[in-house]
Amino acid sequence: MNALRILSDEHQSLAAVLHAIRFMLKDIAAGKLEPDRALFQAMVHYLEAYAEQRHHPKEDRLFAILKTRTAQGAEALATLSAEHAAGPERIAALRRALADFTADPRTLDAFAAAFDQYATFYRTHMMLEEEAVLPLAHHALTPADWAEVDAFFAEAETDKGGEDFSALFDRLVECAPEPIGLGARPYAATR
């Protein structure tokens, strides 16, 4: 059941980035912080790439096995499946609002509204997983199921062919302003 810990850790990482963006947007709107557009772009990239490339495939595998063990939670699983499928559209709307803000800082309010919509959705999505589906999986899956899920998750964690999300997250924390990060320094795509 190591998979449950991994998903919880991943949810915490995603929630931390959501919180950081919300914090920064509020401080920018209040005139306390100058926008670091490259940092916003990197954070939105993290939300997109990490969720789609690393996180959702693991959840989808767990959910598929769960469906074979119980009919309980079928409605929640269908909702989550549809939300995962609509993820690219949802993040595209956020990317468009960020691109508009990058081109014209006067569109801060529109970017903030698009972000709030995305963040509210994502928090609700994660809560459904954590409150309805993951506890169900904890009880319904067999030891053999957990061995299969944990092996799939371990393989995904050691797959070095993709992006190094841990290093990206660390860089986001390094560049995010205090108190959500280590201090406000401009984000640079490469070191």
CATH code where residue 83 lies: 1.20.120.520
In a domain, 181, yes or no: no
In a domain, 189, yes or no: no
State the Cα–Cα distance between residues 22 and 165, nearest whole angstrom: 21
The Cα angle at residue 185 between residues 92 and 47, in degrees rounded to 5: 25
- Domain of 104 in residue numbering reads as 2-175
In a domain, 75, yes or no: yes
For residue 86, with 0-12 CB atoms within 10 Å meaning exposed, 13-18 middle and 19 or more buried, which class applies? exposed
* Average pLDDT of adjacent 10-residue blocks, the chain of 191 residues: 92 96 96 94 95 91 96 96 94 97 96 97 96 97 96 82 85 90 73 49
* Count of domains for the chain: 1
| pLDDT for 184 | 61
| pLDDT for 157 | 78
CA dihedral 54, 58, 63, 68 (to 10 degrees): 150
In a domain, 185, yes or no: no
**pLDDT, tens only, 11-28:** 999 999 999 999 999 999
State the Cα–Cα distance between residues 78 and 116, nearest whole angstrom: 24
User: Residues of 150-177 as b/e, b for ≥16 C-beta within 10 angstroms?
Assistant: eebbeebeeeeeeeebeebbebbeebbb
State the Cα–Cα distance between residues 19 and 16, nearest whole angstrom: 5
**pLDDT, tens only, 64-77:** 999 999 999 999 99
The Cα angle at residue 50 between residues 47 and 54, in degrees rounded to 5: 150
State the Cα–Cα distance between residues 172 and 149, nearest whole angstrom: 30
